[in-house]
Amino acid sequence: FDGYIRPDHGRMIWGEKGRYGYGLYDRALGATYLVGLWEAISRAGK
């Protein structure tokens, strides 16, 4: 795969107020999910 990956569809957690775009916690959580998926795929290929 030679494209971009990004988290999609944020949610309000830990008392965040809804606003346009993604909140700070949402971006951190999405990045963590992507790292976990990347690691799982890498380990499955070994």
Q: How far is CA 37 from CA 8, 16, 26, 44, in A?
A: 14, 25, 16, 11
Residues spanned by the domain of 9: 1-46
- Choose between 46 and 13: higher pLDDT: 46
Task: Provide the pLDDT confidence category of residue 4 given band limits of 50, 70 and 90.
Answer: confident
The pLDDT assigned to 8 comes to 64
The pLDDT assigned to 18 comes to 66
Q: Is the pTM of this model over 0.75?
A: no
The pLDDT assigned to 3 comes to 84
Tally of structural domains, the chain? 1
Of 36, 1, 2, 19, the closest CA to residue 10 belongs to 19
Query: CA-based Rg of the chain, rounded to a whole angstrom?
Result: 13
Dist CA 42 CA 24 (whole Å): 27
Question: What is the tens place of the pLDDT at every residue in 15-40?
Answer: 777 666 667 777 788 888 889 988 99
* C-beta separation of 34 from 5 below 8 A: yes
